[in-house]
Amino acid sequence: MLNIALPKGRLGEKVYGMFERAGFDCPAIREENRKLYFENEALGLRYFWVKPSDVAIYVERGAADIGVAGKDILLEYAPDVYELLDLNVGRCRMCVAGPKDFSDDLSKTLRVATKFTSIASDYYASLGRDIDVIPLNGSIELAPILGLSDVIVDIVETGTTLKENNLAVLETIVPISARLIANKSSFVFYRPRIEELTRRLSQEVKP
């Protein structure tokens, strides 16, 4: 069995559709229930749904041979996995955002609230800017509104959350999309299968 970790949710369903069209279907996955793993014995495939931010851990530790993870997670946690293919779905960007009229006072340490502490630290280190990272788990947009931080580093997809909270993108750090990743040992062990899967999936990637 090739174990495949998919991110639970709307993105995962889109991604599974790509696997299905590429010939790696698993009809059981379409049944309405709360099961978390599904097998197609004939094709030797086992899919399972995991929290999107956990896919990389399953793959890095070999519980999954391959999986689909956002580039944000790969940049933040730098898991020791192979990145095989950009699926060009789940597209968004990692940004610095803050009040529309924000201007950085270089005489002060910049307070940055974020879920992505490594990405924020690396970004500001590359600029030589001193920051105080304020780690949060959600509703990051509240931080500058309540004076907890000066700016935030967060994912922007449509921009609606920022707009509705009177914030704006100040800088784009990096574009993000979903990536096919593989465990390093699994890649050696199942190389022909994984390469064939990658090749067929790449034909489902829309520009």
Question: Which residues are 98's β-sheet partners?
Answer: 168
Residues 206, 79, 96: CA angle, nearest 5 degrees? 70
Of 20-28, 117-125, 137-145, 187-195: span binding ligand PRP (CB under 6 A):
137-145
Nearest to 185 by CA among 194, 175, 198: 194
- Beta-sheet pairing, 45-50 with 37-40: antiparallel
Burial of 164 (0-12, 13-18, 19+ CB in 10 A): exposed
- The nearer residue to ligand PRP, 94 or 180, going by C-beta atoms, is 94
Least separation in angstroms between residue 160's CB and ligand PRP is 4
Least separation in angstroms between residue 74's CB and ligand PRP is 16
SS3 category, 56: helix
| Using rule CB under 6 A, residue 138 touches ligand PRP | yes
Least separation in angstroms between residue 103's CB and ligand PRP is 23
| Using rule CB under 6 A, residue 156 touches ligand PRP | yes
Query: How many distinct helices (H) and strands (E) make up the chain?
Result: 8, 11
Residue 43: both structure tokens together: 């094709």
- The nearer residue to ligand PRP, 50 or 156, going by C-beta atoms, is 156
* Contact pick of 83, 104, 157, 195 for ligand PRP (by CB under 6 A): 157
Residue with tokens 């580039």: 71
Of 5-13, 76-84, 102-110, 149-157: span binding ligand PRP (CB under 6 A):
149-157
Question: Which residues are 48's β-sheet partners?
Answer: 5, 37
DSSP per-residue string spanning 4-28: EEEESSHHHHHHHHHHHHTT---GG
134 and 112 Cβ atoms separated by less than 8 Å: yes
Of 28-36, 79-87, 133-141, 189-197: span binding ligand PRP (CB under 6 A):
133-141
| Using rule CB under 6 A, residue 198 touches ligand PRP | no
* Contact pick of 158, 192, 206, 207 for ligand PRP (by CB under 6 A): 158
Of 72-80, 104-112, 135-143, 169-177: span binding ligand PRP (CB under 6 A):
135-143
| Using rule CB under 6 A, residue 161 touches ligand PRP | yes
Q: How far apart (Å, rounded) are the C-alpha atoms in residues 57 and 64?
A: 9
* Contact pick of 72, 76, 150, 154 for ligand PRP (by CB under 6 A): 154
Binding site for ligand PRP (CB under 6 A): 138-140, 154-161
